[in-house]
Each structure stands twice: as C-alpha cells, then as structure tokens.
Amino acid sequence: MPEHSSNGGWDVVVTPWHLDEYIPAFPIPADATEVGRPILPSGPVSARMNVLHRVTADTVARAAKPLVLSGDCPTSRAAVAALQLRHDGLAVLWLDAHGDFNTPVISTSGYLGGMALAMLTGGTPGLFDDTLGLRPVPETSVVLADARDLDPAERDALAASRVRRIPADPAAITAALGELGPVPVYVHLDIDVIDGTQLPGARFPSGPGPSLAQIEDCLAAARADIVGAYLACAWLPEHAGDEASRQTVTRLAAALGATLTWDEPAGS
C-alpha cells in the first residue's frame, strides 16, 4: 500500500465481509487494497470475527488516511484500533439509522452488528479478546447522528450514556464537532442512514430518513476534521455489487473527497 495515495489523500481499504460471512459480489474499487482472507477458526462467530478484525487492523494501520469499505459495522473496531496507533484523543462521528448500542446483556436478538458502537465505547467486555489493543472511546467523544430506529433497551442505554445525539444535519454536525474541539475524527457511516426508498436491496432498511444528498452534505461538513472514514455498505449479498449500490458508495466517497473508480461495469 502506498504511504499516501493521490486519491484526495485517501487510501481505500476494502473488507468484503458481513460478520464472518464473505461477500463474493462486494464491489472492489480499482485502486483499493483488499484485506486478505484469513483462515477462520471453527467456533463462535465472535472468535471468527476477531481473526478477521486483526488482519483488517494490520491493513488499515498501513494506510496514511484510510477510507474503509466494509459489509458490516463491527469491523469498525479494527479501523479505530489502527487509527489509535497514530492519533490520540480520537473522536467518533457515527451516522446510522440504528444506534448500534446494544450489548449482549440487553440485545433481544444477539445480533453482533447491533453492538458495533457499544464495542468501541467498552460496552461489550469479554466479547472479543484484546489482541487489537483497542482503547475504549469515551462516550463524551462520540457523536451519534440520526439513530431513528432503536430497540427499547438500547434507547434507554443511550439516554443513560454520555453519547451526544444529533440529527443527521450538516449544521448539527458542525456544531457538535466544534464543541469537541480540535480533535482527530473518525467518521463511520452505515448506508441505512439514508432514506429507505433510495436504498434498494439494503439489509436493514429503516424507512423514511435523510436523503442521499443530505448525507453527502453531512460528510462534507465534517471533512476538515476527519483522519479516517468507514462506509458500512450493508446491502444484501446479491445486491452488494448492483449499479445503484456502487453509485451510492461512489457518491458518499466523493463527499469525503475520494474518487472511486471501477474496473468493470456494474453487473458484469
């Protein structure tokens, strides 16, 4: 991987997995570095994910300014652990239709994808081993935008936390980041934050929400502070490489200042 790419300063890293499920159709931009496919052990999904996250963290750590494309949200723990090697006091801007603040204790489904933000803030002790060296991000350094679709216990947990909740609005994002002060920012965006009518084939559509154009404006509002970014491209596997899916990811990356190019036409 180059020390620093010419792609607006971004190094694009792709990890085409949803939890421990490899997604063959996941689109890989022409200039991206794909995370290697490790041999995953048998056993619990979390143990298998931990191996994948270790490989992902090693790849992201070699990127000067990583833009990670992934099929899920929990792999963000690998991206944040890698960024913490270079940046102290990292803040997190999390744009998502969901709160991802469930834990094994309060989750009604046990779905690990719904715990991704809690993983970053230290809310899931014992779920993974500590080989990543991830330091819990203080709740006061987390800004959660949108989160319109919450489980009841998750809503209570967020209300009791010190996570800052805001609408997915450029002005609100600018204000929230300004209140954090001059700190390095990691931005995480799950595509389901976008209005469900604009996301055919999404794994977890969440109905009416901000438009793609509004989310582009949100990313543009945060750009100056971002040292790393992550796009959770959570489409159903058969839709991951659709032309509409690629166009959405391309537009979101462009809002961050990165130009994605593709070797083959969508659907080929």
pLDDT of residue 264: 62
Residue 56 CA to residue 69 CA, distance in Å, equals: 11
Give me the mean pLDDT over the 235-255 stretch: 95
Tokens 């792709």 belong to which residue? 14
The pLDDT, as a whole number, for residue 255 is 97
pLDDT for the residue 267: 44
Contact 174, 224 (CB under 8 A): no
Q: Poorest-confidence range of 68-72, 80-84, 92-96, 197-201?
A: 197-201
Rounded alpha-carbon distances, angstroms, from residue 261 to 7, 183, 247, 265:
10, 31, 10, 10
Residue 217 has pLDDT above 50, yes or no: yes
**Structure tokens given for 112:** 């690990």
Give residue 8's pLDDT.
75
% of residues, the chain, pLDDT over 70: 96
Classify domain 11-255 by CATH number: 3.40.800.10
The whole-number pLDDT of residue 6 equals 52
Mean pLDDT over 86-96 rounds to 97
Partnered with residue 12 across adjacent β-strands are 67
With beta carbons less than 8 A apart as the criterion, state whether 201 and 159 touch: no
Reported residue count of the chain is 268
- What confidence tens digit (pLDDT) does each residue in 113-126 have? 999 999 999 999 99
> pTM of the full predicted structure?
0.95
Per residue in 149-178, pLDDT (tens digit) is: 999 999 999 999 999 999 999 999 999 999
Average pLDDT over residues 245-261: 96
Question: For the chain, how long is the longest CA-to-CA vector?
Answer: 48
Residue 4 has pLDDT above 70, yes or no: no
Strand ranges, E, within the chain: 11-15, 17-18, 21-22, 33-34, 66-70, 91-98, 142-149, 164-166, 185-190, 226-232
Mean pLDDT of 39-62: 96
In percent, the amount of the chain with pLDDT more than 90 equals 92
Interval 9-39: pLDDT, tens: 999 999 999 999 999 999 999 999 999 999 9
- Residue range 217-240: average pLDDT? 95
As given in the structure block, the two tokens for residue 262 are: 């593709």
pLDDT score of 203 more than 50: yes
Angle at 101 between CA 124 and CA 148, to 5 degrees: 170
pLDDT confidence of residue 145: 98
Assess whether pLDDT exceeds 80 at residue 136. Answer: yes
pLDDT at 128: 93
* Assigned token pair, 5: 């790419």
Query: Binning pLDDT at 50, 70 and 90, where does residue 268 land?
Result: very low
Residue ranges of the domains in the chain? 11-255
What pLDDT score was predicted for residue 191? 97
